[in-house]
Amino acid sequence: MFIPFLVLRNTLRHKLRTTLTMVGIVVAILAFGLLRTVVDAWYAGAEATSSARLISRNAISLVFSLPLNYQQKLRQIPGVSSVAGANWFGGVYITESNFFPQFAIDGAGFLDMYPEFRIPDAERKAFLLDRQGVIVGRKLADKYGWKIGDQIPIRGTIYPGTWTFTLRGIYDGADAKVDETQFFFHWALLNEKIKQLYPRRADNVGWYVIEIKDPSQAAEISQRIDATFKNSLAETLTETEKAFQLGFVAMTEAILVAIQAVSYVIVVIIMAVMANTMAMTARERYSEYATMKAIGFSNGFVAFLIFAESMTIAIVGGLLGILGTFPVAAWFGGAMSQIFPVFIVSEETIVLQMGAALLVGLVAALIPAWRAARVRIVDGLRAVA
Amino acid sequence: MAAIPISYIARNLFARKLTTVLTAGGMALVVYVFATVLMLAAGLEETLIATGQPDNVIVIRRGAQTEVQSGVDRASAAIVETLPGIATGQDGQRLLSKEPVVLISLPKRETGNASNVVIRGVTEKGLVLRPQVKIVEGRMFRPGTSEIIAGRAIAQGFRGAGIGETLRFAQRDWTVVGVFDAGRTGFNSEIWGDAEQLLQAFRRLGFSALIFRLADQNRFDAMKQAIEGDQRLQLEVKPEQRFYADQSEGLSKFISYLGTTISIIFSIGAIIGAMITMYASVASRTSEIGTLRALGFSRTAILIAFLGESLLLGLVGGVVGLAAASFMQMVPISTTNFQTFSEIAFTFTLTPLIVVASLAFAVFMGFVGGFLPAARAARLSIVDALRAA
């Protein structure tokens, strides 16, 4: 009972200093957790994928489309259970700053493949029956206050003109990982308009989503698909949905690496602050340590006292930081929902936060503990802080 | 009233080396992050702004934000070409380039990860319009062949884009016969080929954008009106510089917002570090402060001395952090600009404004961290301070 009490009293001796150090750790652990969550959010698209879905797109790049007649050919490939096309629309809602992804989808076929989008049956039916209909995610609908039946005008950037859609359904994600900021309308409507404007561009699909019967066959089926269209006007590149999403992550790798690096810099900064605190604390107490040694306490015990004090501050600060991460992440995720539709603090982040706090406590005490353990009784007694 | 000499302030920092190094080190890291992020945003902006020429004008389809989204059919292009106000070149022909622009997916040399690269079809006029583009290796492509030239960043960064290598896309093998350098501009991240060849290969009927030079730079508005007011044309006109600057907006804003937020959070840590150091400095020198006061130094002098110590601490951190950040100018960065969905290479750029802002930030951290402890030092009464052990 005596030792914890001693550590606690030591910790509280300089209340202001301990408080300041602890605030520093709270801020650092919070920032570290937030940055880790930003990195996770980057990968959210890849996390929410299904291994039973493949994406087939034009091998040149996503800017090029695939002919509509590939749908039939894809269906005939062994191992494929269903196929649905989709297009990127790239429109603007009122102003450029209101960004959200819009997709033209192959109605029922596409929705069947994404069971994680939960839509009430009545709304789903209403959407399928209405050519102008649109289904949007819950977050998106809440953000702009859209209700079922609302007219939503979107200005096209790739497909010119103003397009007006009628909101027919709102989907909820099956779990928190599902992006609820997407906007789906009928590919048939898009194609009809293109036919009038640019007949040559009609009957093209941006990419095909392909559901396969056995996920372990993904690689073989992908090869089979690409081989089928080899040397045609539109060669395909087929990969799992996850690889497809990771492709987008890889494009902004440089920024991602920078954020990751920065998240560790904050840990180093706080390590310096904490080490400074412990160094000062130990220096002021050299004469005390010498006294303890003179009474008969071992060098190890003196070092232990410093470690225990450092760890106490770090652990309490770390726990407070972790607790603070949740409200801050909720606020940040709400403010940045355009860029990060899915923003959840993962368990791994919490473990890493706690690990970082422990590491800071440990490293900060190293030099002071070593110095205090080595101080000779005579010098220590003579020392003036 | 005498001021406390600066050497006294500086030597105090020197007396406790470990503490000074740790505190200034923390501040240096914050300034380093702050400066590099600003340098990154500045580098991106500078690169894209430098891409446009002041008297060049770009014409794209109304509503399109990038060249890749845009489409200009041949009939519209012909109408624009005949408008008065376009400069003529040495051969008497109009300086107008009709260019197809598409994205192709290429693997990076190091990681093999695919990224989108702009491939642009140009003519001789296109080169005249962009005097900053110079062939540095190999030669220009021959018109009417499947030859291409690659920008320096692409030639270095992507597989098959180096000189003598071939790229396969649109059912053809394209040989890279030259590498061009376009200074610090976005063209360094592009591949150029013969416009008509690329149109055929990609089976496109129309161009993506028209670029022309104004005969008279002041006549931009008249030209804009002539094109945008024409009922036959669904086109939009922008000065080339404005067009490229707009494309840097999203990414550079994202970088600077994120960076500033991070720096502010980090600075809290560093300020706390400075505060702890300065409080300790005051506490351990209480009797010294009493002596100084007894010698006749005023409260203000004490306040200034301790604040000065803290400011100096901040300045040291700032200079070290900035020095480390300036080395980042040697590191090239290549990433996808999500506004254009294509690869863009740029460098960290240190501008005078960033130097001033970083040092000011460092001194500010020193000031905030040192003010309360300095005030405490100044408030000490002589008798109590002298009595303190």
Residue A153: pLDDT band with limits 50, 70, 90: very high
Total number of domains constituting chain B: 2
Is the pLDDT at B344 greater than 60, yes or no? yes
Distance CA B46, CA B40 (A): 10
Residue B107: pLDDT band with limits 50, 70, 90: very high
| Among B118, B152, B115, residue whose Cα is nearest residue B132 | B152
In this prediction, residues A129-143 reach a mean pLDDT of: 94
Distance CA B82, CA A25 (A): 68
pLDDT digits (tens, 9 = 90+) for B168-181: 988 899 999 999 99
Distance CA B128, CA B88 (A): 11
Whether residue B204 lies inside any domain: the answer is yes
Three-state secondary structure string covering A89-142: CCEECCCCCCCCCEEEECHHHHHHHCCCEECCHHHHHHHHHCCCEEEEEHHHHH
Pairing relationship of beta strands A91-92 and A204-205 according to DSSP bridges: unpaired
Can you give the pLDDT at residue B205? Answer: 86
Q: Are A272 and B273 a contacting pair at CB < 8 A?
A: yes
pLDDT digits (tens, 9 = 90+) for B288-309: 899 999 998 999 999 999 999 9
The two tokens of residue A157 are: 């950037």
Instruction: Please identify, among B246, B268, B284, the residue that sits at the C-terminal boundary of a domain.
Output: B246
pLDDT digits (tens, 9 = 90+) for B126-140: 989 999 999 999 999
Instruction: Please identify, among B246, B267, B291, the residue that sits at the C-terminal boundary of a domain.
Output: B246
Are B20 and B117 contained in the same domain? no
| Among A204, A280, A367, A216, residue whose Cα is nearest residue A21 | A280
Is the pLDDT at B12 greater than 90, yes or no? no
Whether residue B242 lies inside any domain: the answer is yes
SS3 content of chain A, % helix, strand, coil (to 5): 60, 15, 25
Name which of B29, B30, B336 is nearest A251 (Cβ-Cβ). B336
Distance CA A271, CA A25 (A): 9
Can you give the pLDDT at residue B307? Answer: 93
The two tokens of residue B375 are: 């005030």
Are the C-beta atoms of residues B126 and B136 closer than 8 Å to each other? no
In this prediction, residues B81-88 reach a mean pLDDT of: 91
Can you give the pLDDT at residue A253? Answer: 84
Whether residue B29 lies inside any domain: the answer is yes
pLDDT digits (tens, 9 = 90+) for A55-86: 999 999 888 999 999 999 999 999 999 999 99
Residue numbers in B near A21 (CB within 8 A): 272, 276
Are B159 and B236 contained in the same domain? yes
pLDDT digits (tens, 9 = 90+) for B348-360: 999 999 999 999 9
Q: What's the gap between Cα B102 and its chain centre?
A: 25
Distance CA B65, CA B263 (A): 32
pLDDT digits (tens, 9 = 90+) for A293-349: 999 999 999 999 999 999 999 999 999 999 999 999 999 888 888 888 889 999 999
Q: Average model confidence (pLDDT) for chain B?
A: 91
Name which of A251, A262, A269 is nearest B26 (Cβ-Cβ). A269
Q: Per-residue DSSP letters for B280-326?
A: HHHHHTHHHHHHHHHHT--HHHHHHHHHHHHHHHHHHHHHHHHHHHH
In this prediction, residues A351-365 reach a mean pLDDT of: 95
- For the entire predicted model, the pTM comes to 0.85
Chain A interface test: which of B264, B272, B333, B346 (most A C-beta within 10 Å): B272
Q: Are B273 and A60 a contacting pair at CB < 8 A?
A: no
Long-range CB contacts (within 8 A, 24+) of B137-142: B137/B163, B137/B178, B137/B179, B138/B163, B138/B164, B138/B176, B138/B177, B138/B178, B138/B179, B139/B177, B139/B178, B140/B177, B140/B178, B141/B177, B141/B178, B141/B192, B141/B193, B141/B194, B142/B177, B142/B194
Using only C-alpha atoms, chain B has a radius of gyration, in whole angstroms, of 30
In this prediction, residues A179-192 reach a mean pLDDT of: 94
Using CA atoms, how far residue A268 sits from A24, A274, A275, A282, B329, in Å, is 12, 10, 10, 21, 23
Q: Average model confidence (pLDDT) for chain A?
A: 91
The two tokens of residue B310 are: 């803290």
Cβ–Cβ contact B380 with A under 8 A: no
In this prediction, residues B196-208 reach a mean pLDDT of: 92
Are B110 and B151 contained in the same domain? yes
B320 vs A262, residue with greater confidence:
B320
**Residues 6 or more apart in contact with residue B222 via CB below 8 angstroms:** B85
**Min Cα separation B339/chain A (Å):** 11
Is the pLDDT at A385 greater than 70, yes or no? no
Name which of A63, A161, A272 is nearest B25 (Cβ-Cβ). A272
Residue numbers in A near B104 (CB within 8 A): 60-61
Residue numbers in A near B25 (CB within 8 A): 272
Are B92 and B157 contained in the same domain? yes
Can you give the pLDDT at residue A233? Answer: 86
Q: Which of B2-6, B270-274, B372-376 has the lowest mean pLDDT?
A: B2-6
Residue B239: pLDDT band with limits 50, 70, 90: very high
In this prediction, residues A186-191 reach a mean pLDDT of: 95
Phi, psi of B116 (to 5 degrees): -85, 130
Distance CA A226, CA A133 (A): 34
Whether residue B195 lies inside any domain: the answer is yes
Are the C-beta atoms of residues A245 and A45 closer than 8 Å to each other? yes
Are B157 and B91 contained in the same domain? yes
pLDDT digits (tens, 9 = 90+) for A195-220: 988 888 889 999 999 999 999 999 99
pLDDT digits (tens, 9 = 90+) for B279-292: 888 888 888 899 99
| Among B198, B385, B358, residue whose Cα is nearest residue B282 | B385
Q: Which residues 111-170 of chain B have a CB within 8 Å of chain A? A: 111, 113-116, 169-170
Using only C-alpha atoms, chain A has a radius of gyration, in whole angstroms, of 30
Can you give the pLDDT at residue B389? Answer: 56
Are B44 and B68 contained in the same domain? no
Are B323 and B334 contained in the same domain? yes
Domain range for B343 is: 6-49+247-387
Instruction: Please identify, among B216, B246, B276, the residue that sits at the C-terminal boundary of a domain.
Output: B246
The two tokens of residue B47 are: 């690169």
Q: Are B280 and A280 a contacting pair at CB < 8 A?
A: yes
Q: Which residues 259-318 of chain B have a CB within 8 Å of chain A? A: 262, 265-266, 268-270, 272-273, 275-277, 279-280, 284
**Chain A residue with Cα closest to B20:** A276
Name which of B63, B111, B273 is nearest A157 (Cβ-Cβ). B63
Is the pLDDT at A13 greater than 60, yes or no? yes
